[in-house]
Chain A
Amino acid sequence: MKRALDLVLLIAAGLVAWEAMHLAAPFALTSPAESLAKAWSMALSPVFWPHAAETAKAFAYALLLAVGGGLALGLSLGLNRTSAEVAEPIMISAYSLPKVTLYPVILLIFGLGISAKIAFGTIHGIIPVAIFAMNAVRNLAPVHLKTARVLKLTRWQTLATVVVPGALPEIVSGLRIGFSVTLLGVLIGEMFASQRGVGYVIMAAIGVHDVPTIMATIVLLGIVAVSASAFLLWLDHRLHHRAS
């Protein structure tokens, strides 16, 4: 109960700060009330939904590829100690690369269109998922793997019954981050390489300095992102508590 109250207090404090900033710079920021009203009307407008659907579609594919690819990469690299050690700094370097600089390459390969957006999202998300999955497997206590060998489990059985459940908490942490950055990748892609999608809506609004639309879109995105993140965080905590 206290936690719900704290959340409400925090949100209230955030809204107050927002209102204060709006009053300080009215042409750069719309008030919370106005933003929410605009967000509401946007959510209901038939003009907005095709964009939202486009983004959602691209995001879904990108997430699938990022998670699938990331898990496959991370789990297989993690099971072998040498491969994990070799791969880790390479993956971390890749993670800290400003992937924005790779966008031209993606566009040249995929052309303008939804596949480019999916690619943007995927390259953002696949690396953190892989890094976390790899570390999750590496950190599995060796005694678990030894037990699996003693029980004469096949490689697939070991994977399914020992590796994945044991590594799950940390994998979920990776999924949390992967989710956020994949969405970011798709949005950035839309911002300068598309005529459709939520990212495009933001970019167009920036172009004509339509601040209410910018704020409203951020509000909508914020609601989606925060709810998904909160859910994954809850899952994360549940799994970690169960494990320890």
Chain B
Amino acid sequence: MSRVGALRLLVVGGFVVALEVLCRTGIISKLVLIAPSDMVMHLFRILTSRKADADILESLTNVVIAVLLSVIGGFAVGAAIHSFPRLRRAIDPFLASYYALPFFAFYPLFIVLFGLGRGAIVAIGVLFGVVAMIISTLTAFDRIPRVLVRTASVYRMGPVEAALRVKLPSAIPHLFTGFKLAIAYAFIGVIAAEFIMATSGLGYSISYAFNNFDNGTMYGLMLFVIVFVTAVNAIFHVLERRLLRRWGR
């Protein structure tokens, strides 16, 4: 393990140990936060009792669908906007302020359109993730070295061929960033929607536990979310490093 990796582990580990000590000694009340070791125990119990399995599976499925739609849709829209610089300039401020709008207020609209259940939640996940992908796609296409676009012209490629054979491969390292963001945001969107307005799923389970003063279950599930997100991020971090090492740019 590299020195930096070891330091990271130390920082995170130190933080967890500090929390553990503060909780066990009662400085932090048990009503507010339970000790990390207890969180782990509760999570273990939840997983082995398989009680939360249906909810977890439902949330993860929602996330996967939302991610796929966000990434593919976001890329297509981003690529299209990039080919029209005038449109791009006009739409930039709206894209930039998109995340300040409470677009999950559109949830009732989605319920009307998709009915109660998965459709509306996935729709919110997509609303969260797609714009991040669009913005990243625009940035990625901006970063394509101009010389490669001219090279495509020298090969006398039409716009579609140039996009697929030169622009897309060249933009992949940067698109990777968009991909990571889309996943993160879609995840946040789905869980947040479930938390606030759903009747099943991981977000809902956490909210239910909170409302019933069931701190144990609540923190156990929160820990699950944290560990899951961290694991997914770590995997993509490694993949991205491998990609960059080979491709350089």
Contacts and interface: CB of A to CB of B under 8 A. Distances in A.
A9 interface: yes
B4 to A, nearest CB: 5
Given A86-B11, A100-B192, A233-B96, A217 B229 contact: no
Interface in B189-229: 191-192, 195-197, 203, 206-207, 210, 218, 221-222, 225-226, 229
Interface in A181-227: 181, 183-184, 187-188, 191-192, 199, 202, 206, 209, 211, 214, 217-218, 221-222, 225-226
B32 A105 contact: yes
A229 B96 contact: yes
Classify the interface of chain B: helix, strand, loop or mixed: helix
Given A3-B90, A7-B90, A108-B33, A95 B184 contact: yes
Contact of A6 (B86, B203, B225): B86
A103 B12 CA distance: 21
Interface in B70-104: 86-87, 89-94, 96-103
Contacts of B11: 86-87, 90
A85 B225 contact: no
B45 interface: no
B191 A29 contact: no
Given A86-B4, A89-B8, A28 B32 contact: no
Classify the interface of chain A: helix, strand, loop or mixed: helix
B212 to A, nearest CB: 11
A102 B99 contact: no
Contacts of B207: 104
Given A96-B187, A226-B97, A188 B112 contact: no
B147 interface: no
Contacts of A29: 109
Nearest to A211: B108
B160 interface: no
A90 B8 contact: yes
B241 to A, nearest CB: 11
A102 B222 contact: yes
B90 A217 contact: no
Given A101-B195, A109-B32, A177 B94 contact: no
A154 interface: no
Interface residues of B, number: 56
A31 interface: no
A183 B100 contact: yes
A232 B33 CA distance: 38
B27 interface: no
Contact of A101 (B108, B180, B225, B230): B225
A180 B97 contact: yes
Contacts of B184: 95-96
B196 A192 contact: yes
Nearest to B88: A6
Contact of A188 (B107, B109, B192): B192
B101 A104 contact: no
Given A96-B184, A97-B225, A209 B108 contact: yes
B99 A184 contact: yes
Nearest to A97: B229
Given A100-B191, A104-B218, A206 B91 contact: no
A102 B221 CA distance: 11
Contact of B89 (A3, A93, A183): A3
Interface residues of A, number: 60
A16 interface: no
A230 interface: yes
B113 interface: yes
A124 to B, nearest CB: 10
Nearest to A198: B102
Contacts of B90: 3, 6-7, 9-10
B4 A104 contact: no
Contact of B12 (A90, A102, A183): A90
B57 interface: no
Interface of A: 2-3, 6-7, 9-10, 25, 27-29, 82, 85-87, 89-90, 92-93, 95-105, 107-109, 176-177, 179-181, 183-184, 187-188, 191-192, 199, 202, 206, 209, 211, 214, 217-218, 221-222, 225-226, 228-230, 232-233
16 contacts: A6-B89, A6-B90, A9-B90, A96-B187, A98-B187, A101-B203, A101-B225, A104-B210, A177-B99, A188-B102, A188-B196, A221-B100, A221-B102, A225-B97, A225-B100, A233-B93
Q: Which 6 A-B pairs give the minimum distances between C-beta atoms?
A: A229-B97, A96-B184, A180-B100, A225-B100, A28-B112, A230-B93
